[in-house]
Amino acid sequence: MTRSLLPAFAALLAVTTAGHAQIAALPEPERPSLKSEATITGDIVRIGDLIDHAGIVASVPIFRSPDLGSTGTVSADDVLEAVRKHALIGVDPRDVRDVVVTRASRAIPASAVEDAISRTLATQFDLGSNKDIVVNFARDMRVLYVEPSAKGDLRVAHIDYDLRSGRFDATIEIPSAGGKRSIVQISGRATATVEVATAARTIDRGTVLRDADLIMERRPRAEVGRDAITKPSQAVGLAARSNLQPGRPIRSAELMKPDLVQRNDTVTIVYEVPGVVLTVRGKAADGGAEGDVINVINEQSKRTLQGVIVGPGRVAISNGSPRVASDNTTSSIANATTR
């Protein structure tokens, strides 16, 4: 029996040696050689993905691909062992120790998921502009990966939302290869917000606000009153009616027109009659802002008059004011500065 096997073994050895000789004799560019890296489309790694010039066995599957968007490595020894089983021998390893394998994919960023949810909530639950909705996921939202050939964008197939707690549960459909769609379940909280003005520092009563005194911040709409200041232009130039604390939304009721006249200030009393405007020095008995009615003392007649603040240090006496009309000092007023 042993003698009968020897000729057969000798013949097999001759064939194998001849095969090696034929492969070694191939021109260098056509010789099967190991790649150092490969990008795979699909969930199967084939011989041709890892071996150049693999010939008729190039389409034979040997490994599973990494997950979408992932990269893995496989040792050169494992690759050569896998292809040897399919009669591919004499592969040039080219000093490659490990082959880097990347799964090709198209990325859908977390921001796209957030935008889709906020737009759906804004439409279905009347939460205002989707740009004012803040979405927080129950778990860290990572990038979603789909096949490069997948067509279309993700969409929200269904969403439940609790207006009181802000909690949502959504079913997201993402595109897959072959026109199919995959399902992803996502939950979290969504809050409708509004941008409001807050004090950048402690602001004392009577201080006239400037841009530098304000910080615009987003706050939950349910926590902000309807009279909250939502634009800097609504506050700049007005004065604090009381002390304003930093970080707290500013309400319109907390602001007032700045005082243009302080009590005991020297003011210009303006009396206008048809065709002539008379002015005389006076003293403010009260303080106030533009448009406020205050008492002023005519320094010449020592009489107290009522007028309206029309500018810094200027008080206009009403044309129909009986107190001015009967003022015996009209002649002295006429001798004052005339405009």
The Cα–Cα gap between 216 and 236 comes to 13
The Cα–Cα gap between 243 and 310 comes to 26
Which residue has 């448009």 as its token pair? 291
Q: What are phi and psi of 278, to 5 degrees?
A: -110, 140
| Whether the Cβ atoms of residue 154 and residue 106 lie closer than 8 Å to each other | no
The answer to whether residue 166 is domain-embedded is yes
The Cα–Cα gap between 150 and 148 comes to 6
148 and 225 together in one domain: no
| Whether the Cβ atoms of residue 229 and residue 241 lie closer than 8 Å to each other | no
The answer to whether residue 1 is domain-embedded is no
**10 Å Cβ neighbour count for 101?**
22
323 and 293 together in one domain: yes
Element (H, E) at 126: none
Q: Which structural domain range is residue 150 located in?
A: 108-193
CA 100 to chain centre: 36
| Whether the Cβ atoms of residue 101 and residue 34 lie closer than 8 Å to each other | no
285 and 317 together in one domain: yes
Pair of tokens at residue 232: 């800097």
96 and 113 together in one domain: no
**CA distances from residue 88 to 25, 76, 125 in whole angstroms, order as listed:** 15, 14, 63
Maximum distance among all alpha carbons in the chain? Answer: 152
User: What's the pLDDT at 7?
Assistant: 36
* Domain boundary residue, one of 46, 70, 103: 103
User: What's the pLDDT at 27?
Assistant: 53
pLDDT tens for the chain, residues 1 to 339? 333 322 332 333 333 334 444 444 445 558 899 999 999 998 999 999 999 999 999 999 999 999 998 999 999 999 999 999 998 988 999 999 999 999 999 999 999 999 999 999 999 998 889 999 999 999 888 889 998 888 888 899 999 999 889 999 999 999 887 777 889 999 999 999 999 999 999 999 889 999 999 999 999 988 888 899 999 999 999 999 899 999 899 999 999 888 888 888 888 989 887 778 888 899 988 888 888 898 999 988 889 888 998 888 899 987 654 343 334 444 444 444 333
Pair of tokens at residue 252: 């319109």
Strand partners, 266: 283
Count of all residues that appear for the chain in the document: 339
Q: What is the CATH number for 235?
A: 3.90.1210.10
| Whether the Cβ atoms of residue 300 and residue 269 lie closer than 8 Å to each other | no
The answer to whether residue 183 is domain-embedded is yes
Q: What is the CATH number for 74?
A: 2.60.480
The answer to whether residue 339 is domain-embedded is no
160 and 180 together in one domain: yes
The Cα–Cα gap between 178 and 220 comes to 43
Pair of tokens at residue 127: 């939460």
Q: What is the CATH number for 323?
A: 2.30.30.760
216 and 264 together in one domain: no
154 and 126 together in one domain: yes
The answer to whether residue 142 is domain-embedded is yes
The answer to whether residue 120 is domain-embedded is yes
Q: DSSP character for 147?
A: -
SS3 190: strand
185 and 238 together in one domain: no
Question: Which residues contact residue 138 at a Cβ distance below 8 angstroms, ignoring those fewer than 6 apart?
Answer: 186, 187, 188, 189
The Cα–Cα gap between 135 and 115 comes to 9
Question: Which residues contact residue 205 at a Cβ distance below 8 angstroms, ignoring those fewer than 6 apart?
Answer: 240, 241, 242, 243
272 and 287 together in one domain: yes
Smallest CA-to-CA distance from 208 within 134, 307, 290, 153 is with 290
The Cα–Cα gap between 34 and 79 comes to 8
User: What's the pLDDT at 65?
Assistant: 94
The answer to whether residue 131 is domain-embedded is yes
Q: DSSP character for 66?
A: P
Q: DSSP character for 213?
A: G
Give the count of domains, the chain: 4
The answer to whether residue 8 is domain-embedded is no
User: What's the pLDDT at 28?
Assistant: 55
282 and 242 together in one domain: no
* Domain boundary residue, one of 51, 76, 103: 103
209 and 198 together in one domain: yes
* Domain boundary residue, one of 49, 81, 103: 103
